[in-house]
């Protein structure tokens, strides 16, 4: 399954670094999402984009900055992260954002903050 | 606020046997969708099965079926003829119709034993 591709697979960064996570979907979907997955916690929805417009922002700290240049690409820009931000970051897409359609997930980026 | 509870953190089942994973949810909405997602050790989360709340018939997908009890707010997943490839984390998820925020449970780790 290569419908949703995330890069890099692993990322180790210091607290003062700036990096970006990339997500690309080849499914022709109109909605894209960023989730944070931490051990023993439910997936946390961070951002939702529909046709390149942000429709959901779940009180995420400003050190996480999303960008959706088109309906196929989604980025998560990271700067001045904290150790508690270490987690698996999952990207997902769905055909539409508001009709109960299932989401297709990427493999995730394992982020470790030193 | 919607909540999803998976009360079984870990379960195991013998190959070829049947296992049932529990999920309960809490909502005051009447139009919603329920999902079971599977996340194998390789990490990519994939959809197992989807249920629309207004449909009384329980959804089935090959060896996977659900028991949807709307009044009890229960949505359990039954896996028949368990296979080694079923070893994974299973997440129950809930989505309100017309609103793309998905609420996930904490997951059940299923181990299929040869």
Per residue in A52-63, pLDDT tens? 778 777 789 999
Query: Collapsing DSSP states into helix, strand and coil, what is residue B86?
Result: helix
- Say if the Cβ atoms of B100 and A88 lie within 8 Å: no
Which residues lie below 8 Å from residue B53, measured CB to CB, with a gap of 6+?
B30, B31, B32, B33, B34, B68, B70, B97
- With beta carbons less than 8 A apart as the criterion, state whether B106 and B20 touch: no
Determine which of B62-71, B79-88, B95-104 has the lowest per-residue pLDDT on average: B95-104
* Res. A85 pLDDT band, cuts 50 70 90: very high
Average pLDDT over residues B24-32: 90
DSSP characters over B10-74: EEEEETT--EEE--EEE-S-SSEEEEEEEE-TT---EEEEEEETT--SPPEETTEEEEEETTTTE
Nearest to B35 among A90, A102, A108 (CB): A102
Distance from the Cα of B96 to chain A's closest Cα (Å) equals: 7
- Say if the Cβ atoms of B95 and A100 lie within 8 Å: yes
Query: Collapsing DSSP states into helix, strand and coil, what is residue A107?
Result: coil
Please check the confidence at residue A97 and state whether its pLDDT lies above 80. Answer: no
The confidence score (pLDDT) of residue B100 equals 67
């Amino acid at each position: 399954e290569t419908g949703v591709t995330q890069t890099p697979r692993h990322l180790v960064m210091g607290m003062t670094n700036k990096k970006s996570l990339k997500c690309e979907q080849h499914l022709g979907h109109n909605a894209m999402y960023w989730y944070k997955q931490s051990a023993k916690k439910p997936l946390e929805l961070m951002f939702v984009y529909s046709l390149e417009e942000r429709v959901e922002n779940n009180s995420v700290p400003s050190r996480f900055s999303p960008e959706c240049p088109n309906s196929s690409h989604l980025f998560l820009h990271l700067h001045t992260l904290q150790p508690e931000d270490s987690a698996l970051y999952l990207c997902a897409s769905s055909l539409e954002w508001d009709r109960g359609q299932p989401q297709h997930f990427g493999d995730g980026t394992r982020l470790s903050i030193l | 606020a919607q909540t999803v509870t998976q009360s079984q953190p870990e379960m195991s089942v013998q190959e070829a046997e049947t296992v049932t994973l529990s999920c309960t949810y809490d909502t005051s909405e009447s139009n919603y969708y329920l999902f079971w997602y599977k996340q194998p050790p390789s990490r990519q989360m994939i959809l197992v099965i989807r249920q629309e709340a207004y449909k009384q018939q329980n959804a089935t997908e090959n060896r996977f079926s659900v028991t949807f009890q709307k009044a009890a707010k229960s949505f359990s997943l039954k896996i028949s003829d368990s296979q080694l490839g079923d070893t994974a984390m299973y997440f129950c998820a809930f989505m309100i119709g017309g609103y793309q925020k998905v609420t996930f449970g904490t997951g059940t780790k299923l181990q299929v034993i040869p």
